[in-house]
C-alpha cells in the first residue's frame, strides 16, 4: 500500500474503552483498551497493520511517559482496530496525557507517525480511581463532588492535605489519623471533625429570654406539657407585653417525646399530648412571633426515661428537629454512657457532634448544653468542660450554682460564682445558665435581684408562667432588659465588697463607650450607704456622669468623681451611669467586602472598636 502523506492517513476517532464486566470481575491493573478508526485518504482501512503507541506529557514535543508499545498484526475492519495498552503504574498521575501513534502495513518497512497526537480522555483516570488501593495519595487533587463518592469511605493515612468538599454527604467516614489539613464546607454527616470556634455564636446575638414549662410542672411535665397548654402560653405572652418586651423563646422541655422511635428510627412526639405533631405547633408559635426550643439528652433516654439522642441518633434527631422549624436545642446529660469511656470525653464529643449537626441542618438553632461536672465520680476534676461548652454551645450550665434562684442572697451568690469561674467564657453568642426563676416561689425583691444579677453577668433569663401584675411589671422593664440585652455581652465584675454589701459594674456597648451599669447589693438587715468611685467605672475623676435608676425610671442627677446611694436591706438595685453628650463619638467605617466597624472615641481618643 502506498502512503499518501500524513494528511491523508490518520486516526479518524479514538477513545479508551471501559468494560463493566471487567470492572466487576477482578481488581484493576494499569492496562486499558484503546479503539480507533484508521483511514487511507478518503477510504477506511482494512487488513493487517503494525501500530506503535507512545505516551507524552504535551501535544507536541514534551517528554515520553513509560515505554513505547508496539501492537503487531492488528486487524482493521472498516477502519476499526482495538489495542490493549499498559504504560505502567506511574503513567497516569492526574496530569494531561497525549498518545502518539505510528503505523505501517504488517511487515512493511518504516513506521509513519500520525499527527496530531490524540489526547487521552478521563477514562483511564476513572479506571485508576475505581479502587482506592490503586491511587497514590499525590493523585488525589481538586474538588470531589458527592456523586463521585460511595456511601462509605475509610481514610487511614495521616497527613491529609487541605481539601474542599462541596455539599458532600458521606454515610460513614473513618479517619485512622487526621494530622494535617482542613476540611472546608458544610461538613455534611462527617463525625468528630472540630467545628470552628464560635460557629454557633451568630445564632444567639444576645442572652435569650426564655419561657420553660419545666419550672411550671417539674416531674409532672410529661402529663401537663401539651400542645393546648403551649398554645395558651404563647397567646398570653403575645398579649400581656412579654413578647413585645423581648421574651420571645418558648422552650419545650423533657416529656414531649414518646418512649420509642418510629419505623424510620425517628423520634415521635407523644400523640396524646401533641396530636397534631410538632411541626403544626411550631408553625403556630412562629406565627405569633416566637422562637421554639426543644429538649433531648445525650443518652439513649432522657431524664424522664423517654427517647433520647445518643451518639448514633443525634445527627438524625437534629435534622428532624430542623425540619419541624425548631430554633433551639437543649441537650441534657441523663443516661449517657460512662464506661469504658469517661463522661468528660463523651460529653466533649457529643457537644461537637451537636454543633456540627446544627450547622449541617442549615437552620439557626441555639444550643443549650447541660453537662455534668464533679458530682459524677470526680470525672471532671481539672478538666474544663465549661470551656469546651464555650466553643460548642450558646448557653452552658454553670455547675456550682443552684438550678433555680431561691431568694435575694442566692441570686447574688450565683452571679458571684459565675463571674469568678466563667467571666472569660462569656461574650456575644456564649452565655451562662446560672439559675432559672420559679416566679411562684420568689418574692418581688428576689425577682428584682435575679433579673439585676442576670443582666450584670449577661446570663439568659428563664421563667415559668406565673405572671401577676407586679411580676409582669418587673419582667417587662425596658431599661433593665436593655442592659441585659447589651450587644457587647460583657460579664460584669464585683468592684467592691464587704460581704454583706457589694458594688458591681458592667461596661455597656463595649469598653470605653461611656455608659456603665451599676448594681448595688445589700444583703444586710439594715440600710447600707454605698459609694461608687469613678475609678471603679473607668472614668476620669473630673468627668460628669448622669446616674439613672433603671428600676424606678428616675434620673438621680449628674455627679463628678463619686456618687453615694442608700440601699434598703435585702435589696439589689440597678443604675446606669452615662457620660454627657459630646464626650463620646461613634464613627462607622466601611471595610472591604461591605462590612462595617464602629470606632468609639471619648474626648477625642479612640477607646474601642466594635464589629
C-alpha closest to that of 207 among 481, 446, 551, 472: 481
In whole angstroms, what is the distance from residue 603 CA to residue 95 CA?
A: 63
Contact 430, 396 (CB under 8 A): yes
Strands 98-105 and 291-297: unpaired
Split at pLDDT 50, 70, 90, the class of 378 is very low
Is the Cβ–Cβ distance between 381 and 374 less than 8 Å? yes
377 Cβ contact list (under 8 Å, min separation 6): none
Nearest to 462 by CA among 487, 493, 439: 439
249-261: per-residue pLDDT in tens?
A: 999 999 999 999 9
CA distance 545 to 537: 10
- When computed from its CA atoms, the radius of gyration of the chain, rounded to whole angstroms, is 35
3-state helix, strand, coil in the chain (%, to 5): 25, 30, 40
d(C-alpha 556, C-alpha 549), whole Å:
7
Q: What pLDDT is stored for residue 441 in this prediction? A: 98
d(CA 475, CA 477): 6
Mean pLDDT value of segment 100-127: 75
Q: Looking at per-residue confidence, does 461 or 607 come out higher?
A: 461
Give the residue among 527, 524, 513 at the shortest CA–CA distance from 578: 513
Average pLDDT score, the chain: 81
Residue pointed to by grid coordinates 466563667 = 422
Place of cell 423563646: 249
CA 93 to chain centre: 37
Higher pLDDT, 118 or 140: 118
CA distances from 496 to 10, 359, 434, 493, 564 (A): 94, 42, 22, 9, 13
Grid coordinates in use for 47?
487488513
- 566 has a pLDDT exceeding 70: yes
pLDDT band at 103 (very low <50, low <70, confident <90, very high): confident
Cα–Cα distances (Å) from 28 to 97, 258, 466, in that order, read 20, 51, 72
pLDDT for 150: 58
Is 174 within 8 Å of 212 (Cβ atoms)? no
pLDDT digits (tens, 9 = 90+) for 148-204: 555 555 544 444 444 444 444 444 454 444 433 334 344 433 444 555 656 899 999
Q: Which has more pLDDT, 32 or 413? A: 413
pLDDT at position 281 is: 99
Q: How far apart, in Å, do the first and last CA atoms of the chain sit? A: 81
**3-state SS string for 50-112:** EEEEEEECCCCCCCEEEEEEEEEEEEEECCEEEEEECCCCCCCCCCCCEEEEEEEECCCCCCE
Return the pLDDT at 148. Answer: 58
Dihedral angle over CA of 467, 472, 478, 482, nearest 10: -40
CA angle 369–372–377, rounded 5-degree value: 165
Question: How far, in Å, CA of 381 to CA of 332, rounded?
Answer: 20
Residue 418: other Cβ atoms inside 10 A: 27
Q: How far apart are CA 54 and CA 99, in angstroms?
A: 6
Which residues in 400-414 are b (16+ Cβ under 10 Å) and which e?
A: ebebbbbbbbbbbbb
Q: Which residues of 554-580 are buried (b: 16+ CB within 10 A; e: fewer)?
A: eeeeebeeebebebeebbbbbbbbbbe
Q: How far apart, in whole angstroms, are the C-alpha atoms of residue 554 and residue 544?
A: 18
CA distance 48 to 81: 10
pLDDT beyond 90 at 391: no
Whether the pLDDT of residue 21 is over 50: the answer is no
Q: Look at residue 9 and tell me whether its pLDDT is greater than 60.
A: no
The alpha carbon torsion through 529, 533, 534, 536 (nearest 10 deg) reads -110
Residue with the three cell numbers 423581648? 246
Return d(Cα 238, Cα 245) in angstroms, integer: 10
pLDDT value, residue 605? 54
More confident residue, 76 or 557: 557
3-class secondary-structure state, position 16: strand
Using one digit for the tens of pLDDT, what is the confidence trace for 41-65? 667 777 778 888 899 988 888 899 9
- Among the listed ranges 187-191, 492-496, 568-572, which one has the minimum average pLDDT value? 187-191
Q: What is the pTM of this model?
A: 0.67
Angle at 73 between CA 71 and CA 75, to 5 degrees: 105
Q: What angle do CA 432, 458, 370 make, to 5 degrees?
A: 15
- Using CA atoms, how far apart are residues 327 and 294, in angstroms rounded to an integer? 8
Give the pLDDT score at 194: 56
Cα–Cα nearest to 357, from 395, 396, 309 = 309
**DSSP calls for 309-355:** --TTTHHHHHHHHHHHT--EEEEE-TT---SSS-HHHHHHHHHHHHH
Instruction: Write down all domains in the chain, each with its CATH number in brackets.
Output: 6-129 (2.60.40.2060), 142-193 (no CATH), 494-578 (2.60.40.1180), 581-611 (no CATH)
Does 468 score more than 50 pLDDT? yes
How much is the pLDDT for 92?
A: 82
Amino acid at each position: 500500500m502506498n502512503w499518501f502523506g500524513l494528511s491523508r492517513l490518520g486516526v479518524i476517532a479514538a477513545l479508551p474503552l471501559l468494560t463493566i464486566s471487567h470492572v466487576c470481575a477482578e481488581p484493576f491493573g494499569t492496562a486499558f483498551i484503546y479503539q480507533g478508526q484508521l483511514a487511507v485518504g478518503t477510504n477506511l482501512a482494512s487488513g493487517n497493520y503494525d501500530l506503535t503507541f507512545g505516551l507524552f506529557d504535551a501535544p507536541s514535543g514534551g517528554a515520553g511517559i513509560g515505554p513505547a508499545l508496539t501492537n503487531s498484526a492488528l486487524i482493521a475492519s472498516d477502519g476499526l482496530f482495538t489495542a490493549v495498552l499498559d504504560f505502567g503504574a506511574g503513567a497516569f498521575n492526574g496530569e494531561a496525557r497525549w498518545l502518539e501513534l505510528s503505523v505501517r502495513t504488517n511487515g512493511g518497512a518504516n513506521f509513519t507517525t500520525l499527527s496530531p497526537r490524540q489526547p487521552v480522555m478521563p477514562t483511564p483516570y476513572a479506571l485508576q480511581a475505581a479502587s482506592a488501593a490503586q491511587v497514590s495519595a499525590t493523585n488525589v487533587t481538586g474538588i470531589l463532588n458527592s456523586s463521585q463518592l460511595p456511601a462509605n469511605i475509610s481514610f487511614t493515612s495521616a497527613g491529609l492535605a487541605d481539601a474542599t468538599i462541596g455539599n458532600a454527604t458521606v454515610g460513614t467516614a473513618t479517619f485512622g489519623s487526621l494530622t494535617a489539613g482542613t476540611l472546608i464546607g458544610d461538613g455534611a454527616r462527617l463525625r468528630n471533625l472540630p467545628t470552628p470556634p464560635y460557629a454557633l455564636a451568630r445564632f444567639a446575638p444576645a442572652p435569650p429570654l426564655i419561657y420553660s414549662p419545666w419550672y411550671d410542672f417539674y416531674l409532672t411535665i410529661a402529663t401537663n406539657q401539651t400542645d393546648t397548654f403551649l398554645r395558651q402560653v404563647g397567646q398570653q405572652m403575645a398579649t400581656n407585653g412579654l413578647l413585645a418586651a423581648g421574651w420571645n423563646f418558648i422552650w419545650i422541655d423533657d416529656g414531649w417525646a414518646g418512649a420509642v422511635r418510629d419505623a424510620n428510627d425517628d423520634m415521635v412526639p407523644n400523640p396524646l399530648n401533641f396530636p397534631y405533631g410538632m411541626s403544626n405547633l411550631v408553625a403556630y408559635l412562629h406565627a405569633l412571633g416566637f422562637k421554639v426550643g426543644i429538649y433531648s439528652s445525650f443518652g439513649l433516654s432522657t431524664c424522664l426515661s423517654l427517647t433520647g439522642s445518643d451518639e448514633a441518633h443525634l445527627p438524625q434527631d437534629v435534622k428532624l428537629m430542623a425540619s419541624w422549624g425548631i430554633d433551639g436545642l437543649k441537650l441534657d446529660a441523663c443516661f449517657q454512657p460512662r464506661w469504658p469511656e469517661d463522661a468528660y470525653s463523651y460529653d466533649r464529643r457529643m457537644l461537637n457532634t451537636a454543633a456540627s449537626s446544627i450547622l449541617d441542618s442549615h437552620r439557626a438553632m441555639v444550643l443549650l448544653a447541660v453537662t455534668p461536672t464533679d458530682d459524677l465520680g470526680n470525672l471532671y476534676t481539672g478538666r474544663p468542660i465549661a470551656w469546651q461548652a464555650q466553643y460548642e454551645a450558646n448557653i452552658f450550665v454553670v455547675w456550682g450554682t443552684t438550678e433555680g434562684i431561691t431568694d435575694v442572697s442566692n441570686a447574688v451568690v450565683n452571679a458571684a460564682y459565675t463571674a469568678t469561674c466563667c467571666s472569660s467564657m462569656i461574650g456575644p453568642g456564649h452565655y451562662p445558665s446560672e439559675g432559672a426563676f420559679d416566679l411562684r416561689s420568689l418574692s418581688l425583691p428576689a425577682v428584682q435581684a435575679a433579673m439585676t444579677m442576670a443582666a450584670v453577668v449577661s446570663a439568659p433569663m428563664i421563667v415559668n408562667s406565673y405572671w401577676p401584675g407586679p411580676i409582669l411589671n418587673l419582667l417587662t422593664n425596658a431599661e433593665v432588659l436593655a442592659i441585659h440585652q447589651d450587644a457587647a455581652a460583657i460579664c460584669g465584675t464585683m468592684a467592691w465588697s464587704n460581704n454583706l454589701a457589694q458594688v458591681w459594674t458592667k461596661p455597656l456597648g463595649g469598653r470605653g463607650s461611656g455608659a456603665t451599669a451599676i448594681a448595688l447589693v445589700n444583703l444586710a438587715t439594715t440600710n447600707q450607704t454605698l459609694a461608687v468611685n469613678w475609678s471603679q467605672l473607668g472614668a476620669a475623676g473630673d468627668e460628669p456622669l448622669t446616674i439613672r435608676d433603671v428600676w424606678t425610671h428616675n434620673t438621680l442627677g449628674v455627679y463628678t468623681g463619686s456618687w453615694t446611694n442608700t440601699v434598703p436591706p435585702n435589696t439589689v438595685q440597678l443604675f446606669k451611669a452615662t457620660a454627657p453628650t459630646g464626650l463620646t463619638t461613634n464613627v462607622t467605617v466601611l471595610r472591604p467586602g461591605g462590612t462595617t466597624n464602629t470606632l468609639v472615641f471619648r474626648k477625642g481618643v479612640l477607646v474601642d472598636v466594635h464589629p
